[in-house]
Amino acid sequence: MLGKGVGGGSGSKAPKPSFVSYVRPEEIHTNEKEVAEKEVTLHLLPGEQLLCEASTVLKCIQDDSGQHGICGKLVCTDFKIAFLGEESTLDDNEPQFKNKVIGENDITLHCVDQIYGVFDEKKKPLFGQLKKYPEKLIIHCKDLRVFHFCLRYTKEEEVKRIVSGIIHHTQAPKLLKRLFLFSYATAKQNSTATGPPHQTVMFDTIKDWHWELERTKGNIKYKAVNANEDYKVCEKLPAYFVVPVSLPEEDILCFQGRGIPIWCWSCHNGCALLKMSAFPKEQDESNLQIQKAFLDGIYKTIHNPPYETLKTEDLSNSFISLQEIQTSYSKFKQLFLIDNSSEFWDTDVKWFSLLENSNWLDIIRRCLKKAIEVIECLEVQNTNVLLIEENASDLCCIISSLVQVMMDPYCRTRFGFQSLIQKEWIMGGHCFLDRCNHLRQNDKEEVPVFLLFLDCVWQLVQQYPPAFEFTETYLTVLSDSLYIPIFSTFFFNSPYQKDANVHQRQLSLPLNPNKSSPKRGFFETDHLIKNLLGKRISKLINSSDELHDNFREFYDNWHSKIVDYHGLLLPHIEGPEIKVWAQRCLRWIPEAQILGGGPVAIMNKVLEMMEEVQSLQKKIDEKHNSLMTPPLDGLSLLRKPARLSSLFPFALLQRHSSKPVLPTNSWKTLGDEEDLAKQEDEFVDLGDL
């Protein structure tokens, strides 16, 4: 095997045999043939095309000297950038957790965050046309991985091709129809096997909305309407949605869905959470008057019985701005995107102040706090709450989903959570395409709103693990699937856009269908709302003192009681309680690995005890029934004593000798996270093609 046993560049000690090769520059060329023979074949998905490749690339392993690494081939397809090294030939080195689509050395094009080149030891960001080609490529990924590819031993023309290829396909603006999603769907078309029946409610039929209304007992005061079927009224709204019963249908048509209260969820006491997209800023006085009159009418309707009093929460004015979220996250992620380990050591001492400086945790705290405030209104004051935002599709989604996760135990099951995302985010028209910047058309629109939501949920999960059916690993994997372009779920700006593109694939697409309501920069705050509110309403916009007292009382009161995991759940939001989502952020950093430690050690014990509980339960059942059922062989949670590491299940860089030996079948019992990729397929509607 190549380079086995050859001393590394630093040459301090003879390395033990392992799957990592230690290659000296001078040996590369003599061994080149051997490399070619040993090469792994590239696995392409249906519809995936190879664009360019380069051989004898060194993948460096967390080390800036560039001399430790694996030799292999770097390829770029229209789906991913992949490195084919020889390590993957070792079949006994199967990691316990493996994404079925994305391998250890695969980066989907949408997952690439920033690319740097190293020229003469200097690191520069790469974009556009290059005059000079770097000797080393550093790729920062959106899931916080960092790859170093050394191109020093690669042929010059190959370097040119691969570098410009990668830069072009990841950085240049793209058209929607060029998304890999479509080529995959086309190629996969004939093999559409309808999977198991959906347990996730998709909210793409009126029946789903009826079901949800019934579940929350909101069906007396609210009705599902089909006014927007075929997107006649508005391209921003879903085909079906729910409005107050007394709202006349023609009102919906008036302003393309703006200014009407749309139902999100009903509380057990009948109070409802509503949302409304605000009117765009209007210069024309007469239009203003019309809008004002319209809103007054609306408020009158929903203020009469049977509706509770209404409280409005203007998220564009009095809350975090998207700009803030963007700046904060870009600072936050830098803490984990480290090029070499020495950087990490340097920041250690200042860790907490750097973290605080990024403001990310504070933004999470403010979101959670806002959600608690809303819950206080719904739960204690028995008022309806109306969330207002320009498009009702960013902060609205966060707050309304958080409220539901905290109040509705159904949303804490896996399918309930998926249904919630489907309802509030997908049907709610969150602009995933823009917010994730999948098309690289406008960097300014890139705001990790959904990630912020997941992080808020993570805080809840880690504070009350027993209240949730899913684990943090589920959330981590979910956050990763934002960047895998074979699922249509997170790749459109609105249900309209998705339907238009998925159904009329063969037809010529209108350019920029999503720009029907041109965005005006960065959500300038909408001062109109305040002006337009009637007197009665403005009274309800609370004096902040009173609000604070109510909040404090509610919060303290709840926390002084014993937690009911199946009821209302309020997170702790004090300084020490909001934490870093360590699993997601630290999983690729080998220095952060604690061998034999971390939460997985507890998890192991829990599994063991669950097993015991189950077997006892079974014995009891048997005795009770006193008729012998055929023995089940399901209790085969055989676990060898293994030292798992704290990075489980993401530690892929396992060394041979310390490789954990957790068999995969026990992993499955953790809730089938491994199959998540498969289950995600349920989101994909490509079968409709």
Nearer to another protein, 253 or 652 (CB): 652
Told to check if 290 binds another protein by CB under 8 A, we report: no
The residue within the footprint of another protein, chosen from 465, 513, 663, 671 (CB under 8 A), is 465
Smallest gap from residue 23 Cβ to another protein (A): 12
Q: Which of 66, 95, 270, 599 binds another protein (CB under 8 A)?
A: 599
Window of 80-88, 244-252, 502-510, 638-646 that interacts with another protein by CB under 8 A: 638-646
Residue 560 touching another protein (CB under 8 A): yes
User: How many CB atoms sit inside 10 A of residue 121's CB?
Assistant: 8
* CA pair distance 649, 674, nearest whole angstrom: 10
In the three-class reduction of DSSP (H, G, I as helix; E, B as strand; rest coil), residue 371 is classed as helix
Task: Name the residue nearer to another protein (CB basis): 80 or 365.
Answer: 365
Q: Does 544 bind another protein (CB under 8 A)?
A: no
Determine, following the binding rule CB under 8 A, whether residue 616 of this chain makes contact with another protein. Answer: yes
Question: Which residue in the set 90, 609, 635, 638 belongs to the binding site for another protein (CB under 8 A)?
Answer: 609
**Contact call for residue 132 and another protein (CB under 8 A):** no
Q: And the tokens for 34?
A: 């051997």
The token duo for 393 is 């599709």
Residue 25, interface with another protein (CB under 8 A)? Answer: no
Please give the torsion angle defined by the CA atoms of residues 151, 153, 159 and 165, in that order, rounded to the nearest 10 degrees. Answer: -50
Among 94, 249, 612, 688, binds another protein (CB under 8 A): 612
- Match 């960065």 to its residue by tokens: 522
592 binds another protein (CB under 8 A): yes
Whole-number Cα distances in Å, 576 to 111, 287, 354, 361, 661 = 32, 49, 15, 10, 36
Among 189, 205, 604, 669, binds another protein (CB under 8 A): 604
Q: From the list 590, 632, 672, 687, which residue makes contact with another protein (rule: CB under 8 A)?
A: 590
* Choice from 626, 627, 629, 631 touching another protein (CB under 8 A): 626
* Contact track, another protein, 331-350, x by CB under 8 A: ---------xxx-xxxxxxx
Report if residue 92 touches another protein, rule: CB under 8 A.
Answer: no
Binders of another protein among 354-393, rule CB under 8 A?
A: 355-357, 359, 361-362, 365
Among positions 644-673, residues that touch another protein (CB under 8 A) are: 645-646, 653, 655, 657-658
Which strands make up the sheet holding 112-119, listed edge to edge? Answer: 106-108, 80-85, 69-77, 50-60, 146-150, 136-141, 112-119, 122-125
Strand 272-277 relative to strand 384-389: parallel, antiparallel, unpaired? parallel
Handedness of CA 7, 11, 16, 18 (dihedral sign): negative
Query: What tokens does 33 get?
Result: 């043939």
Quick check: 622 binds another protein (CB under 8 A)?
no
Phi/psi of residue 388, each to 5°? -120, 130
What lies within 8 Å, CB to CB, of 572 at 6+ separation is 463, 559
Identify which of residues 537 and 580 has a Cβ nearer to another protein in the complex: 580
Residue labelled with tokens 């690439």: 112
**Nearer Cβ to another protein (249/343):** 343
- The residue among 57 and 570 lying less far from another protein, judged by its C-beta, is 570
Q: What residues are paired with 150 via a beta bridge?
A: 58, 136
Q: How many residues bind another protein (CB under 8 A)?
A: 87
Q: Is 200 in the site for another protein (CB under 8 A)?
A: no
- Residue 293 vs 613, nearer CB to another protein: 613
Binding mask 44-63 for another protein (x = CB under 8 A): -----------------xxx
Which of 289, 617, 636, 665 lies at the binding interface for another protein (CB under 8 A)? 617
**Among residues 352, 506, 543, 631, which is the contact residue for another protein, using CB under 8 A?**
352
- For residue 544, what are its two tokens? 């902040």
d(CA 254, CA 297): 12
H helices within 488-598, ranges in order? Answer: 495-503, 528-532, 535-540, 544-559, 582-586
Residues in contact with 43: Cβ distance below 8 Å, sequence separation at least 6, in sequence order:
103
**Inter-residue contact 22 to 15 (CB < 8 Å):** yes
Q: Nearer Cβ to another protein, position 270 or 596? A: 596
Confirm if 494 and 514 have CB atoms less than 8 A apart. Answer: yes
CB neighbourhood size of 74 (10 A) = 29
Choice between 524 and 622, CB closer to another protein:
622
If binding is defined by CB under 8 A, does position 17 make contact with another protein?
no
Q: Which is nearer to another protein, 71 or 181 (CB)?
A: 71
Please, what is the minimum distance in Å from the beta carbon of residue 363 to another protein?
Answer: 10
Give residues 568-587 in contact with another protein (rule: CB under 8 A).
Answer: 572-577, 580, 582, 585-586
Closest separation in Å from C-beta 457 to another protein: 18
Quick note: the x/- pattern for another protein over 404-443, rule CB under 8 A, is ----------------------------------------
Does position 461 bind another protein by CB under 8 A? no
Task: Provide the minimum distance between the beta carbon of 322 and another protein in the complex, in angstroms, as a whole number.
Answer: 19
Strand 384-389 versus strand 310-314 pairing type: parallel
Is 596 one of the binding residues for another protein (CB under 8 A)?
yes
SS3 string, 74-97, reads: EEEECCEEEEEEHHHHCHHHCCCC
Task: For another protein, give the closer residue by CB, 381 or 654.
Answer: 654
**Interaction of residue 468 with another protein, rule CB under 8 A:** no
CB 181 within 8 A of CB 76: no
- Considering only the stretches 226-234, 275-283, 388-396, 621-629, report the one whose residues sit in contact with another protein under the rule CB under 8 A: 621-629
Rounded distance between C-alpha atoms, residue 365 and residue 577, angstroms: 9
Distance CA 409, CA 62 (A): 43
**Burial of 616 per CB tally in 10 Å (0-12, 13-18, 19+):** exposed
3-class SS of residue 450: helix
Identify which range of 10-18, 172-180, 397-405, 413-421 contacts another protein by CB under 8 A: 10-18
Q: Pick between residue 166 and residue 475 the one whose CB is nearest to another protein.
A: 475
Report the nearest approach of another protein to the CB of residue 399 (Å): 19
Question: Closest approach of Cβ 554 to another protein, in Å?
Answer: 13
Nearer to another protein, 247 or 651 (CB): 651
DSSP string of 125-141, one letter each residue? E--S--SS--SEEEEEE
